[in-house]
Amino acid sequence: MREIFLIISAWVHLFATVVWIGGIFFILFVALPGARKNLELPGKFMGDLGKRFMPLANFSIMLIFATGIVMSLSAGRFSEMGSIQSQILFIKVSAASVMAGVHFYRGLFLTPKIGKMTAEAAPGDSIAKLQQLSLRLVKTNLLLGTAVLLLSGMLSALRVSFP
């Protein structure tokens, strides 16, 4: 029964990761370039897209952290605190935590500020600077997400090599 629980936890963990990091990849490399090229109001489209993606990403983040804790505690990942696996896990969790912080900063503070400034007809250069910051943060999260995936692959390979 414990194995089934861990398999389901791992599947949910992986699925939530695909939603979050895959969503970031899709937005940066598919939706944003397409909107810029084909739409008169790409900002409005991307804002609407972000509003649809944000709840999925938020839920995925919660699932990732919840299942990650469950899997680590169930599999005894913290029992060998000096091992290479525990060091990689620490780096992975740290990177994912920074990603979550960036995500929630953008969603709770930066995006509403951009929306408020747009509604108040603030100077365009002020809004553009915040939009540039927001885009850089999304790119940072993609880079961190890629590193998290690499670290996950390393952990999987080490589990097979050194059970």
Long-range contacts of 82-91 (CB under 8 A, 24+ apart): 84/158, 85/155, 85/158, 85/159, 85/162, 88/151, 88/154, 88/155, 88/158, 89/151, 89/155, 91/151
Q: pLDDT-derived band of residue 76, with 50, 70 and 90 as boundaries?
A: low
Average pLDDT over residues 156-162: 76
pTM more than 0.75 = yes
Average pLDDT over residues 121-149: 93
Average pLDDT over residues 50-60: 95
Average pLDDT over residues 1-27: 94
Residue 43: give the domain boundaries. Answer: 2-161
8 A C-beta contact, residue 134 and residue 162: no
Q: pLDDT-derived band of residue 79, with 50, 70 and 90 as boundaries?
A: low
What span, in angstroms and rounded, lies between the C-alpha atoms of 1 and 7? 10
Q: Could you give the number of structural domains in the chain?
A: 1
| Comparison of pLDDT for 109 and 156, the residue scoring more | 109
Output the pLDDT for position 162. Answer: 57
N-terminal to C-terminal alpha carbon distance within the chain: 21
Q: Is the pLDDT of residue 104 over 90?
A: yes
